[in-house]
Amino acid sequence: MNYPFDLRTLWFLLAGVLLTGYAILDGFDLGVGILLLGAKKDLDRRVLLNAIGPVWDGNEVWLVVGGGALFAAFPDVYATVFSGFYLPFMLLLVALIFRAAAIEFRSKETSHRWRQTWDVSFAVASVAIALLAGVALGNMVVGIPLDADFEYRGGFFNLLNPYALIVGLTTVSVFAMHGAIYLVLKTEGEVQAMVKGWARSTTIAFGLCYGLLTMATFVFAPHMAARIRETPWLILLPMLSLISIANVPREISAGREARAFISSSVGIATLLALFGMGTYPRIVISSPNPANSLTIYNAAASDVTLTTMTSIALLGMPFVLAYTIAIYQIFRGKVDVSKLHY
């Protein structure tokens, strides 16, 4: 079959879009979880949880669909990464389950201990999910030891290398900032004053992580900079990333929260695009044997499956985007304190 475009590249991009969708959407509700214990009063915590209440579940679906798309489009990537990162992914699953249970259960009893236990679970699980997702991404970019059959040949502690940990930390900080900005949008009065303070401090924390990550990328992942030297116009991507992130504190101090939220969303998207740009056409880099890397060529599903998946995406995703936007429209505006569910 001949196509006017490369199906594998298309699915590299689409998998990236799903991952980005997940990071932007679940990113803010994970961020709210990371910050939850910053609120001391039960009512305040309930306001924060109700700000994400109707949407967090749908946001998490982006991860599920992203995983399914990876499985279908690049089965070997899915198999290598999921079996290679066994322990971190098991911890990720436990965190995902605990988080879902925590938000579902916390307001179903009135005792302080019950609620405190679930709030701590929710916060710890949110931090763990962001950290583990970041560590997994960092490892894919910096490279992991793979053999000729694409099987992971390292141990658990190989995964906790400095670069991966820095990506993990950056993920936690960017989600915290993203979540704080979302909360400024969704709250009013005293609670809003509180979360505005969080937005400022998390922006600073993320700025530091971003600087650290940039330096670490030059040191540990030199192929990223090399890619830009080869294709100079790609410099626009890190520039856009820098501008959108620098714009966040500017919008916050000017009280334009919606624009700050868009800025941090663009910041997240460009950061992920940078990772994609640096690795393409590889998906998982093998280090020390780069020949064993998983690429869009040796790890892709058949053209029949990629074509089918493209039809599924063309058929389904316009509806998904339409009703997701409509639902966000319906739930826009401040949290109504008189109608708390959680």
The CB-of-331 to another protein minimum distance in angstroms stands at 7
For residues 10 and 12, what is the distance between their CA atoms, to the nearest angstrom? 5
For residues 30 and 23, what is the distance between their CA atoms, to the nearest angstrom? 9
Task: Kindly indicate which of the ranges 66-74, 136-144, 188-196, 220-228 contains the residues binding another protein, using the contact rule CB under 8 A.
Answer: 66-74
Cβ(167)–Cβ(220) below 8 Å: no
Interface pick for another protein out of 6, 68, 197, 255 (rule CB under 8 A)? 68
Q: How many CB atoms lie within 10 A of CB 140?
A: 23
Task: Kindly indicate which of the ranges 1-9, 64-72, 191-199, 238-246 contains the residues binding another protein, using the contact rule CB under 8 A.
Answer: 64-72
The CB-of-7 to another protein minimum distance in angstroms stands at 13
For residues 232 and 226, what is the distance between their CA atoms, to the nearest angstrom? 10
Of 272-311, binders to another protein (CB under 8 A) are: 301-302, 304-305, 308-309
Q: Judged by CB under 8 A, does residue 109 bind another protein?
A: yes
Q: How many CB atoms lie within 10 A of CB 142?
A: 23
The CB-of-174 to another protein minimum distance in angstroms stands at 23
Interface pick for another protein out of 3, 6, 9, 43 (rule CB under 8 A)? 43
Interface pick for another protein out of 1, 219, 291, 330 (rule CB under 8 A)? 330
Q: Judged by CB under 8 A, does residue 22 bind another protein?
A: no
Of 110-139, binders to another protein (CB under 8 A) are: 110
Q: Judged by CB under 8 A, does residue 324 bind another protein?
A: yes
Q: How many CB atoms lie within 10 A of CB 11?
A: 23
Closest CB to another protein among residues 78, 182: 78
CA atoms within 13 A on the CB side of 319: 5
Closest CB to another protein among residues 107, 203: 107
Task: Kindly indicate which of the ranges 187-195, 243-251, 261-269, 317-325 contains the residues binding another protein, using the contact rule CB under 8 A.
Answer: 317-325
Query: What letter would DSSP give residue 299?
Result: S
Q: List CB contacts of 131: < 8 A, sequence separation 6 or more.
A: 168, 169, 171, 172
Please report which residue ranges of 221-290 form alpha helices under DSSP H.
222-230, 236-253, 257-279
Q: Judged by CB under 8 A, does residue 60 bind another protein?
A: yes
CB crowding 254-263: b at 16 or more within 10 Å, else e: eeebebbbbb
Interface pick for another protein out of 69, 252, 273, 283 (rule CB under 8 A)? 69
Task: Kindly indicate which of the ranges 74-82, 198-206, 215-223, 234-242 contains the residues binding another protein, using the contact rule CB under 8 A.
Answer: 74-82
Kindly tell me the burial class for residue 291, based on how many C-beta atoms sit within 10 Å of its own C-beta (0-12, 13-18, 19 or more).
exposed
Interface pick for another protein out of 78, 122, 175, 275 (rule CB under 8 A)? 78
Closest CB to another protein among residues 113, 341: 341
Closest CB to another protein among residues 226, 312: 312
Q: Judged by CB under 8 A, does residue 337 bind another protein?
A: yes
Of 80-99, binders to another protein (CB under 8 A) are: 80-84, 86-87, 89-90, 92-94, 96-98
* Cα distances (Å, whole numbers) of residue 50 to 38, 47, 62, 97: 16, 5, 20, 19
Interface pick for another protein out of 37, 44, 116, 153 (rule CB under 8 A)? 153
Helix (H) or strand (E) holding 282: strand 282-284
Q: Judged by CB under 8 A, does residue 258 bind another protein?
A: no
The CB-of-67 to another protein minimum distance in angstroms stands at 5
Report CA Rg, the chain. Answer: 20
Closest CB to another protein among residues 171, 324: 324
Phi, psi of 286 (to 5 degrees): -95, 130
In the numeric block, the tokens 């710890």 are attached to 124
